[in-house]
Amino acid sequence: MIDNFRDHTFVICAYKESEYLEEVIKSLLDQTMKSNIVISTSTPNDYIKRIAEKYNLNLFINEGKSGIGPDWNFAVSVAKTKYVTLAHQDDLYSENYTEEIYKATNKHKDIIMIFTNHKEIRNGQIARKNLNLKIKVIMTFPIRFFKKSKFIKKLILSFGNPISCPSVCLNTEIVGKRPFREDMNSNIDWGTWLDFSNKKGAFVYLNKILTFHRVHSESETSKCIGSNKRVEEDYEMFCRIWPKWFAKFIMIFYKYAQNANLKG
């Protein structure tokens, strides 16, 4: 096997002065199989510039429209490779993430995206799997056997979003260089995956713990839950998939699950 996946890029989405930025960079540099690493930001500052220089990483600054969706689209657009992973500044990657992604690209054809299983980091420690994470594994089960079925791709997204955004590797030859929706705050990823489900190609799920999502009060997910944006956008998503009466019924149960993001 080659030791460098030249057709893959990690684009680290840096925002303000995250205390975790250097940790994610180290986890990418420690990959068993190397690939390209760059940093993208719409909030340039001395802190980000200093870290980019320290690790000799190219820094791209979004001087256009800002926001989560536009920032993610800008990040994808700066990558010159076919495959792109948006590395969120709070999260960490297993040392064999790139190697497993590489194997998947050789094993499967017409890949829309590859995504993996994950664990959470709470209070600086890798947490035991909670009920939400166990449910997500169950939700993704059908895609292991019907990777290209539009029905199954939509089905796994019909009762929530089981796909961990930081784990996703995009095939830009299919999804393009500006793939993300820009009309949402909390559910940009869920809405985008639902759009992808209508495309011809495969959702490839790797049931291996290859990413670690940090849960803390300053994360964008936690902020959206706290401000009630998450509830509004969850209902909007369910209405895209189901009749309104059923979407309201689902929300009765779904609101409780959101609190797991803020609890251990």
Sorting pLDDT into bands at 50, 70 and 90, what band is 156?
Answer: very high
Whether the per-residue pLDDT at 221 is higher than 80: the answer is: no
Which one is predicted more confidently, 145 or 252? 145
**Residue 22 domain-assigned?**
yes
With CA atoms as reference, report the closest residue to 62 among 80, 52, 79, 74: 74
Which tens digit of pLDDT belongs to each residue from 232-241? 999 999 999 9
The DSSP secondary structure of 131-151, one letter per residue, reads HHHHHHHHHHGGGGT-TT-HH
Sorting pLDDT into bands at 50, 70 and 90, what band is 225?
Answer: very low
**Residue 1 domain-assigned?**
no
Q: What is the pTM of this model?
A: 0.91
pLDDT, position 222? 46
**Residue 120 domain-assigned?**
yes
**Residue 15 domain-assigned?**
yes
pLDDT, position 257? 62
Find out whether 184 and 233 touch, Cβ atoms under 8 Å.
Answer: yes
With CA atoms as reference, report the closest residue to 201 among 106, 114, 73: 114
Whether the per-residue pLDDT at 127 is higher than 50: the answer is: yes
Based on the structure, what is the number of domains in the chain? 1
Whether the per-residue pLDDT at 218 is higher than 70: the answer is: no
Sorting pLDDT into bands at 50, 70 and 90, what band is 216?
Answer: low
With CA atoms as reference, report the closest residue to 87 among 30, 139, 157, 45: 30
CATH of the domain at 154: 3.90.550.10
Report the Cα 42 to chain-centroid distance in Å. 18
pLDDT, position 259? 57
Find out whether 34 and 111 touch, Cβ atoms under 8 Å.
Answer: no
SS3 label, residue 198: coil
**Residue 241 domain-assigned?**
yes
pLDDT, position 217? 56
Give the range of the structural domain holding residue 33, as residue numbers without chain letter.
6-261
Sorting pLDDT into bands at 50, 70 and 90, what band is 253?
Answer: confident
Q: What is the mean pLDDT of the chain?
A: 91
